[in-house]
Amino acid sequence: MTEKIKIGIVGYGNLGKGVEAALPQHDDMELVAVFTRRAPESLQIHSKRAKVLHISEAERFRGKIDVMILCGGSATDLPVQTPVFAADFNLVNSFDNHAKIPEHFAAVDKVAKAHGTTAAISVGWDPGLFSLNRLLAEAVLPEGVNYTFWGRGVSQGHSDAVRRIKGVKYAVQYTIPVQEAMERVRSGENPHLSTREKHWRECYVVAEEGADLEKITQEIKTMPGYFAEYETKVNFISEEEFKRQHNQMPHGGFVIHSGRTGHGREHKQMMEFSLKLDSNPEFTASVLVAYARAVYRLNKEGQVGAKTVFDIPFAYLSKRSAAELRRALL
């Protein structure tokens, strides 16, 4: 039997837990250790054979872990951790601050090239699989328009904003695509649509006893930058219903491309990619794991430096051989 790809997880939030849950679906990989900034003994992990260690001990696993999957946040963790880890490890992260990707790529690429490691950044579904579909559609149908819709899914930032309102005990916010906008896009009409014309927002709120529900509703609906520009619906529910119905992290979305072909551009051609996810972090984790395999192989071939999903052939994601893939899936 060939040796398994040895994986380390850095950060044990929802994403790190998702990676841990995804790894047993891949019999060519094994989890070696989870690294945390918390006190290691405070963490209860699921895997029986993996170690839980403080992040400061990661360095001594150089050569013993093939790929580190960084599961921290994009705001403060990943920009700092990724270049540091790239000096010692091949890695994958899900850096999702779109505006800062070029800067992050450059920082990671420099370290990875200097140390002969391979680092796939911004892996997940957006950025990630959605980005791949945007690129593919634009390359195949250049005379076309590309639309990304997100949802139905929880927006953490918007949920937090509602929770900060006085009188709100619990709250969750779902971003939902506007069905009529999607139908207009699918019809090939190529409408101009702003983000707020493509999405509406629905809030489920548990109010403190005696809170002024009308006032909370108004505060939500008029909140600038978050809700004021959107069609927003506010639902007040009981704590019991909230805990039963809104304890999940569903998400998903659609990348729809509407192009034209023919000498007179007389033929409509529609491409669509969509995700409907019961668990956003577990799906993102599943993508990270597949790309960890790719990173491992790229590094074996001497393909070092920072990479994105755009740079990695799909064959590298599968544990099957190229010949088997051609036979079975092409």
Q: Contact with its own copies (CB under 8 A): which of 48, 49, 192, 263?
A: 263
Closest to its own copies by CB, 113 or 233 = 113
Nearer to its own copies (CB atom), residue 55 or residue 101: 101
Instruction: Report the run of H or E that residue 65 belongs to, with start and end.
Output: none
Half-sphere exposure of 18 (CA within 13 A, CB side): 23
Burial class of 250 by CB neighbour count within 10 A (0 to 12, 13 to 18, 19+): middle
Segment 142 to 201, residues that bind its own copies, using CB under 8 A = 142-143, 186
Q: Smallest distance, Å, CB 313 to its own copies?
A: 5
Residue closer to its own copies, measured from CB, 29 or 216? 29
Give, as ranges, the residues between 81 and 140 that touch its own copies (CB under 8 A). 98, 101-102, 105, 122, 127, 129, 131-136, 138-140
Q: Which of 72, 102, 76 is nearest to 91 (CA)?
A: 72
Q: Is the dihedral of CA 123, 129, 134, 139 positive or negative?
A: positive
Neighbours of 211 (CB within 10 A): 17
Q: CB of residue 33 vs its own copies: minimum separation in angstroms? A: 18
Q: Which is nearer to its own copies, 108 or 205 (CB)?
A: 108
Question: Which 291-330 residues touch its own copies, going by CB under 8 A?
Answer: 293, 308-315, 317-319, 322-323, 325-327, 329-330
Residue type, 165: I
* Least distance from its own copies to the Cβ atom of residue 210, Å: 37
The one among 52, 171, 287, 295 contacting its own copies by CB under 8 A: 287
Between residues 223 and 312, which has the closer beta carbon with respect to its own copies? 312
Sheet of 168-177: strands edge to edge? 153-154, 168-177, 199-207, 232-236
Stretch that binds its own copies, among 51-59, 206-214, 221-229, 289-297 (CB under 8 A): 289-297
The nearer residue to its own copies, 101 or 181, going by C-beta atoms, is 101
Name which of residues 12 to 71 contact its own copies (CB under 8 A). 18, 21-22, 25-26, 46
Check if the beta carbon of residue 249 is closer than 8 Å to that of residue 14: yes
Considering the complex, state which of residue 216 and residue 277 has its C-beta at the smaller distance from its own copies: 277
State the minimum distance, in angstroms, from the CB of residue 132 to its own copies.
Answer: 6
Rounded least distance, CB 130 to its own copies, Å = 9
The CA distance from 130 to 263, in Å, is: 29
Q: Which is nearer to its own copies, 26 or 163 (CB)?
A: 26
CB 17 within 8 A of CB 83: no
> Helices (H), strands (E): how many in the chain?
11, 14
| Contact status: 283 vs its own copies (CB under 8 A) | yes
Question: Residue 265: which region, alpha, beta or left (left: phi > 0; alpha: psi -120 to 50)?
Answer: left
* Token pair in block for residue 239: 């704590």
